[in-house]
Structure 1
Amino acid sequence: MEIPIAGEPPCSLQLNARNHVITLVTTYQRPEPDTARLMNLSFDAWTVDNDELAAISVNVEGNIHGAYGLLATIADEIQVNHAPLAVAVDTAVTRHRDVVAARGALDVNREIGLFGELLFLDFLIHAIGAGPAVDAWMGPISEEHDFVFDDVHIEVKTTSTERRRHVINGLGQLVPVGDTALSLLSVQLTRVTATAGRTLPQLVAAVRTAAGGHAVALDHRLESSGWLDEDAELYPTSWRLRTVPMAFPVGVDFPALTPDAVARVVPNSALVVDVSYMVDLTTLPSCSLPERLNGFVTKEESPE
């Protein structure tokens, strides 16, 4: 949803409910605002039809009114007080410091998603070495899939349900890259007592220890995943595997929505810009992974 704000320079608010983000889009100005050290706030710029645009985005989870107030203050500063963009952002941040400095845990879906990826990463560190394992974890740095190897790409999906039901975000998430095989790795977790499992902070600490000298690269990926050490006490839940993970080949028989598949049945499919859907893989036949990775998954096929 986009809401224009009357005045000059042009401003509009864009609401992204799925990602819990609200964005102010306006005319680009130099110098750029410095948002690198601020929580929940980011800056981006791009060019459209020779027009330079700037975007200030705020993560609104838990504080939508504060996020709106911060962006409204920026708009007022540049439209009413004619302040430069960098000054407007600084002024708004000063007035709404609670928005950009507020602490907030990952929601439970992102928590278990990170937990599942770290379980696989921990296995990889011991199976193929810390350097190759951390290098393969590409999802947090905006690559197409979570783990990238020369012979296979792996998308990790984690659920706390009794069935292997996973949410797929976007039409491109399950599109193979070139001729490289793509597998979906299904991880099922369950909540347990503190003595029967591990919390997310405990798993982070264990993976950091295992990573050794590669912890710097690991921390960069953790931060990109939304992990903050200072929020560790916000994750008290202990988890353990509900079942042995299973891998599924993303091929012609996999229930994936892709741009090509949608184009065959949806008119003007290029206008479909955001898709999320759930798949239930409980009865789908599983597959093996390459030998060096196969110790993480069950060798048995899913029941019919």
Structure 2
Amino acid sequence: MNRDASSTSEQSEDARHLSVANVDVVWESGTPVVLPIAGTPACRLDIHPANRTITLITSFTPPEPDVARWRNIAFKPVSSDEGDLAELTVTVEGNVRGAYGLLTSVADELQLRGQPFAFAVATSVASHRDLFAGKAALSTEKELGLFGELLVLEYLIEKLGAALAVESWQGPRSEEHDFVLDDVHLEVKTTSGELRRHMMHGLTQLVPVRGVPLSLVSFQLTRSSQGGGSTLGQLVSRVRAQADGYRAKVDAGLEAMGWSDADVELYATFWTERTEPRAFDVDERFPALTAARLAAAIPNFTAVSNLAYSVDLTHFRSNSLPGSLADLVVVDQEPS
């Protein structure tokens, strides 16, 4: 396309929509407004300042656009007297011009370029990427870590009651171990690998404190079908329901772990246990890197920082947990 043709196209697109000044006027009026956009397929904008939303409504043809990983953008298919409609809604956080620009860009892709709906949305979102930064989902490693801790919390609520169980969950809130009970502390590790290999961080994670025994509880998870497992969001909902009056403390722990309800759709993987969980006593035989051990072997070990290492427990014989925690894990049989 030559420069003159490009200029003409840009001018025609500009003429189809409000100027930025008029966008501000409409928004600041506070009055809901419906703005038709001339062309085929039919498009209209529902501007609702009180709700802080702008919605593009147009005809819908599958597939659905993939907007789950973007903040402040939501899609909903709607059946109406007009047929199957698509509602693409942007929640405005201070930049009404940007929100308006994104939705009019989708309309231009549909009406001027004849693009399919899902492609029009993807193209327009890409061009407005800075405005709608992606949601910050937990990494898979952190998702698994939270999943494992919630499995333990769910078990403890059943065995010990919500009060004691929730109070014992220290992982998100302190430098101590994940669960702190009178007779044992638990450090929970979770992997999706075929080997029982776990990452350790720092010099204090595997150090018993106050003379209380420390056990590492190891989970191996694997991806599952919908009927055979749970998503992280489903597990969060279960634990919240079981926590009853202690839900506020559970929510504080979830927040500290990086969980956000707004991102729940990002955790679509169904997880189930690959093997039964096992526990390992963290004692003098356990391969832990600690300050005391490093001091004996490495000159000037205090210069070491940001220590991370993996421990493969696949072939280690597991141990039991005390009292009411015994059923949480299985214990490997002694060789005959």
Distance 2:236 2:221 in 1: 16
Letter in structure 1 aligned against 2:274: R
Letter in structure 1 aligned against 2:261: D
> Aligned to 1:201, which of 223, 228, 233?
233
Distance 1:269 1:196 in 2: 47
Shift of 1:300: 2.4
More divergent stretch after superposition (262-271 vs 100-109): 100-109
Distance 2:275 2:131 in 1: 40
Q: Which residue of 1 aligns with 2:155?
A: 123
Letter in structure 1 aligned against 2:160: I
TM-score (norm 1): 0.66
Q: Which residue of 2 aligns with 1:184?
A: 216
Q: Which residue of 2 aligns with 1:162?
A: 194
1:105 matches 2:137: yes
Distance 1:168 1:99 in 2: 37
1:272–1:293 Cα change, 3 Å: same
Q: Which residue of 2 aligns with 1:235?
A: 267
Instruction: Output aligned runs, 1:138-287, within 5 Å.
Output: 138-287=170-319
Uncovered stretches (5+) of structure 1, i.e. residues with no partner: 1-38, 40-97
Whether contact under 8 Å (1:138, 1:148) holds in the other structure is yes
Q: Which residue of 2 aligns with 1:87?
A: none
Shift of 1:99: 9.1
Instruction: Please state whether the residue corresponding to 1:256 is helix, strand or coil.
Output: coil
Instruction: Please state whether the residue corresponding to 2:190 is helix, strand or coil.
Output: strand
Letter in structure 2 aligned against 1:276: A
Distance 1:270 1:105 in 2: 34
Tell me the number of residue pairs that the alignment of Structure 1 and Structure 2 aligns.
Answer: 209
Instruction: Output aligned runs, 1:13-162, within 5 Å.
Output: 103-162=135-194
Shift of 1:104: 1.2
1:247–1:232 Cα change, 3 Å: same
Q: Which runs of 4+ in 1 moved over 3 A?
A: 98-102, 301-304
Distance 1:241 1:171 in 2: 29
Q: Which residue of 2 aligns with 1:294?
A: 326
Uncovered stretches (5+) of structure 2, i.e. residues with no partner: 1-70, 72-129
Distance 1:99 1:181 in 2: 50
Show CA shifts across 1:41-76 (max 9, x none).
xxxxxxxxxxxxxxxxxxxxxxxxxxxxxxxxxxxx
Shift of 1:143: 3.0
Distance 1:254 1:302 in 2: 18
Shift of 1:299: 2.6
1:282–1:214 Cα change, 3 Å: same
Whether contact under 8 Å (1:284, 1:302) holds in the other structure is no
- Structure with larger Rg: 2
Distance 2:334 2:259 in 1: 33
Whether contact under 8 Å (1:287, 1:301) holds in the other structure is no
Distance 1:193 1:302 in 2: 35
Instruction: Please state whether the residue corresponding to 1:168 is helix, strand or coil.
Output: strand
Q: Identity over aligned residues, as a percent?
A: 51
Distance 2:310 2:332 in 1: 23
Distance 1:218 1:301 in 2: 36
TM-score (norm 2): 0.60
Distance 2:303 2:131 in 1: 34
Distance 1:216 1:285 in 2: 38
Whether contact under 8 Å (1:283, 1:302) holds in the other structure is no
1:301–1:221 Cα change, 3 Å: farther
Distance 1:287 1:214 in 2: 31
Whether contact under 8 Å (1:157, 1:184) holds in the other structure is yes
Whether contact under 8 Å (1:116, 1:158) holds in the other structure is yes
Shift of 1:294: 1.1
Distance 1:109 1:264 in 2: 32
Distance 1:260 1:160 in 2: 31
Whether contact under 8 Å (1:185, 1:247) holds in the other structure is yes
1:301–1:224 Cα change, 3 Å: farther
1:193–1:152 Cα change, 3 Å: same
Whether contact under 8 Å (1:283, 1:303) holds in the other structure is no
